[in-house]
Chain A
Amino acid sequence: MKIIKKAQSGSFESSDIIVLIEPVVEKSGRNIEIDSSVMLEFGDAIAKLILDKLDEYNITDIHLIVKDKGALEPTINARLETAIMRACDLQKGTL
């Protein structure tokens, strides 16, 4: 899947995560920046969640920034999915 535009999801609140996605030139790979208040403990787990989600959507070229404030796994997955859907212009009306 191709990232078409920049998009974000989530918030700065505690127990949430903010995800920023930006398109990059083709074949430049994945540029992922992770910052978390629980980096030491869960940094690797967050990275794995992100990579799995990108694999799931078959995304190879992306600039992705996350700032985590201790979000739980389902939250992280939901935020990632929303951001990806927005960035790929797949999001349907939700109202």
Chain B
Amino acid sequence: MTFEDTDFRQELLDLKNPLDIKLLKTFLNSLGFDYKPEDVEITMIIYNLNNEIVGTGSLNGNTLKYVIVAPEFRDSTAFPLIVTYLADKALEKHKQCFVYTKPDTAKLFQALGYSLIATAEPLFSVLEFGYKTIKDYQHHLKKQKVKTTTTNIASIVVNCNPFTIGHRYLIEKASEENELVYLFVVSENLSAFPFEIRWKLIEEGIAHLKNVKMLATGPYIVSGAIFPNYFLKHESWSLISEKQAEIDVNIFVEYIAPVLNIKKRYIGCEAYCETTAAYNTAMHKILPKHNIEVIECERISANKDFCKNDYISASKIRDAIKKDTLKDVLTSLPECTKNFLLSEDSAEIRLKIKQRNGRH
């Protein structure tokens, strides 16, 4: 059966209306998907003239989610219709939009003109579309590239939420052992401390290291796109985070390391956070294959007599802020962070951390 566009009616869902949510949940559940309205900002839906649901799609920031067409309408134009609508909306506010999907459905998006960035078989592919692409980011990196003849170039990726002496130790170590260090600071604002503040504190804290070049990660390293686990119900959580990490590391080796000639990546060893541990595993697995050495450093302790659970961690600092025990962890903080946290400038952030329940 073929359908003309005019047979379709598109509507935005009212995400505050429980009836609308229920309608969509029923539709998606019947196809084997879980729908979480809190995951998305807008949801659109397509009906035909008989009021049957043809398909749906949602948007969270610049990421397309829940793009699903009912099987009996898959030979119609519903899919491009949904994707066009969502891309329109996303590009109003953002320079590009992303899709996380399974590698076999990635082809459908590619056929529409989305370009594939990376794949982690058999679970994930990332695609993008818009005014800016990863090539523009590479171009940006080339402009920032430090002119040098050495091949002894290392990199670190940090979030520094907030900057501790543990971070400083890792950066100092890399700075000593290499002639040039690229320090990537996660620029997405999903952390308690906003990017500008994290950047400023790091800048102050490592001002004495002349061979460290700071760079913003853009949307391509440690991307904040939430795990699209809704279509992966049957996969284990550890496999999902492993593959998510693989995507990230693949992007790093394919697009970023070659541009900047990076030969080493320094990481802190991870004892408590599963997601970060999955990243480290992925790095050990993939980076050496591309001639990038992974150097995992033990975490340091604020006290001289080191015991195993006493390492410094930014999450402990956030915990302390939450519990109002900041003065106990002051020894883990460099001057710049200490001054910032004790000053009035950070009052708003501290309040926000106290009210939050999440870990980041």
Whether B80 and A12, one on each chain, are in contact in the complex, defined by CB atoms closer than 8 angstroms, is yes
- The answer to whether A67 and B112 touch (CB under 8 A), given A8-B88, A12-B87, is yes
Which residues from chain B contact A63 at a C-beta distance below 8 Å? 131
Q: How large is the interface on A (under 10, 10 to 19, 20 to 34, 35 or more residues)?
A: 10 to 19
Does A6 make an interface contact (CB < 8 A)?
yes
Q: Chain B interface: which of A14-22, A47-55, A71-79?
A: A14-22
Of the candidates A13, A22, A37, A69, which one forms a contact with B81 in the assembled complex, judged by CB atoms under 8 Å apart? A13
Whether B130 and A13, one on each chain, are in contact in the complex, defined by CB atoms closer than 8 angstroms, is no
* Chain A, 1-56, CB within 8 A of any chain B CB: 6, 8, 11-14, 18, 20, 22, 35, 37
Whether A11 and B81, one on each chain, are in contact in the complex, defined by CB atoms closer than 8 angstroms, is yes
Whether A18 and B113, one on each chain, are in contact in the complex, defined by CB atoms closer than 8 angstroms, is yes
Which residues from chain A contact B131 at a C-beta distance below 8 Å? 6, 20, 22, 63, 65
B83 nearest in chain A by CB position: A12
Nearest CB on B from A7, distance (A)? 9
For the complex, what is the distance from the CA of A13 to the CA of B113, rounded to whole Å?
10
Whether B84 and A13, one on each chain, are in contact in the complex, defined by CB atoms closer than 8 angstroms, is yes
Which residues from chain A contact B315 at a C-beta distance below 8 Å? none
Whether B84 and A18, one on each chain, are in contact in the complex, defined by CB atoms closer than 8 angstroms, is yes
Of the candidates B80, B87, B88, B91, which one forms a contact with A13 in the assembled complex, judged by CB atoms under 8 Å apart? B80
A35 nearest in chain B by CB position: B113
Whether B130 and A11, one on each chain, are in contact in the complex, defined by CB atoms closer than 8 angstroms, is no
Binding site for B on A (CB under 8 A): 6, 8, 11-14, 18, 20, 22, 35, 37, 63, 65, 67, 69
- Apart from the given pairs A11-B84, A67-B112, 4 other A-B contacts in the complex at a CB distance below 8 Å: A6-B131, A11-B80, A12-B80, A69-B112
Binding site for A on B (CB under 8 A): 5, 77, 80-81, 83-84, 87-88, 91, 111-113, 129-131
The 3 A-B pairs at the shortest CB distance, nearest first, are namely A67-B113, A11-B84, A12-B112
